[in-house]
Amino acid sequence: MAGPVETTGTAARDTTRAILLFTVSISLFPINDAIAKLLTADYPVAQVVWARYLVHLTVITLLMLSQADTRRRFGTRRPGVQILRGTCMAVGAYAFVFALSHISVVDALAILFLTPLIMVVLSIPVLGEQVGLHRWGAVVVGFLGVLIVMRPGLGVMHWAGSLALVAAFASALQQVLGRKLGATDHPMTSVFYTGLIGFIVASAVVPFDWHPPSGNFWPLVVVLGVIGAIAHFGVIKALAMAPASLLSPFNYPQIFSGALTGYLLFGHLPDFWSMIGIAVIMASGLYVYHRERLLSRRVAVGT
């Protein structure tokens, strides 16, 4: 009797650790976003994105070089998909940082929360998955939530909100492509190529939009890159300990760290309608998660 109880207890502890690690790691991203927003007040977006990728790539490369199976992790079986995925992340990074330079961190995050729902749509052509009526309904409701946040036609919508939508689409495509790569490449390999492709794209753009950095630029950029690398690594470790479907709802604590960071650094607080829209988006995403759990259980019992 002792063996099964111990195994079950270990699995439960691993799941708890994975949830805690994922929640903490995912909550670091809004801090990164806030630092990027601070930097864009004095520097071009292209320069901020380039510097962010430079530090990210450096940290990830050093981390991979410290591993015993370094040579294997640098190799990829699907370079074309890696290039496309890295390009998607670079486009998303530029779009999101541009959006942050004009709208609040919380509003930008609220629109970015559409990512899991866009993934449902993209899973049809990219992964060949079938999407039922319930998930389509959740996608429509989630989009209505974004419209509540953006409020087009009411004099509230800022054009930069559309850039956050571009970032959400790019992020969704990046994650769907990540699912395809999961069968062939190590997660750290994908993180490395994401940084490498992003750095190459950013390096091609930054010479045309450069501002001589002052004393605060590089310290903030180093913090930006290190926090980003830690957050990405924490997410990868958590996903290695527990299924993505289990961890998916724990993306939403970002809104709380985003609201806190936005208030402390910029004095921004979401208004009533933004909070309503955020709640609608979160509810639709959680519903998709709930349906996926139900379907998984039915498949497991053969019904």
Structure tokens at 7: 């195994």
Whole-structure pTM over 0.75, yes or no?
Answer: no
What confidence tier does 293 reach under pLDDT thresholds 50, 70, 90? low
pLDDT tens-digit map of 234-280: 877 777 676 665 666 677 777 777 778 877 777 777 777 778 877 88
pLDDT of residue 70: 63
pLDDT tens-digit map of 24-47: 888 888 888 888 888 988 899 899
Residue 4 has pLDDT above 50, yes or no: no
CB 107 within 8 A of CB 101: no
pLDDT tens-digit map of 174-219: 877 877 777 778 777 888 888 899 899 999 989 988 888 887 888 9
Residue 230's identity, in one-letter code, is I
The CA distances from residue 133 to 130, 136, 137, 187, in Å, are 10, 5, 6, 32
Q: Residue 13 and residue 19: Cα distance in Å, rounded? A: 10
* 259 inside domain: yes
Look at 45-59, 117-131, 259-273 and tell me which has the smallest mean pLDDT.
117-131
Residue 233 has pLDDT above 80, yes or no: no
pLDDT of residue 301: 60
Q: Residue 275 and residue 286: Cα distance in Å, rounded? A: 16
The count of other CB atoms within 10 Å of the CB of residue 298 is 10
pLDDT of residue 203: 93
* 146 inside domain: yes
Residue 163 has pLDDT above 60, yes or no: yes
* 218 inside domain: yes
Structure tokens at 137: 């309904």
Q: Please spell the DSSP secondary structure of 34-67, one letter per residue.
A: HHHHHHTTTS-HHHHHHHHHHHHHHHHHHHHHTS
* 7 inside domain: no
Higher-confidence residue of 10 and 54: namely 54
Total number of domains in the chain = 1
CB 229 within 8 A of CB 59: yes
Residue 74's identity, in one-letter code, is F
Residue 58 belongs to domain spanning: 17-301
Residue 170 has pLDDT above 80, yes or no: yes
Q: How many CA atoms lie within 13 A of 109 on its CB side?
A: 31
Which of 34-38, 227-231, 288-292, 294-298 has the largest mean confidence?
A: 34-38
Q: Residue 171 and residue 85: Cα distance in Å, rounded? A: 9
* 27 inside domain: yes
CA angle 193, 37, 108 (to 5 degrees): 80
Average pLDDT in the chain: 77
* 12 inside domain: no
pLDDT of residue 50: 92
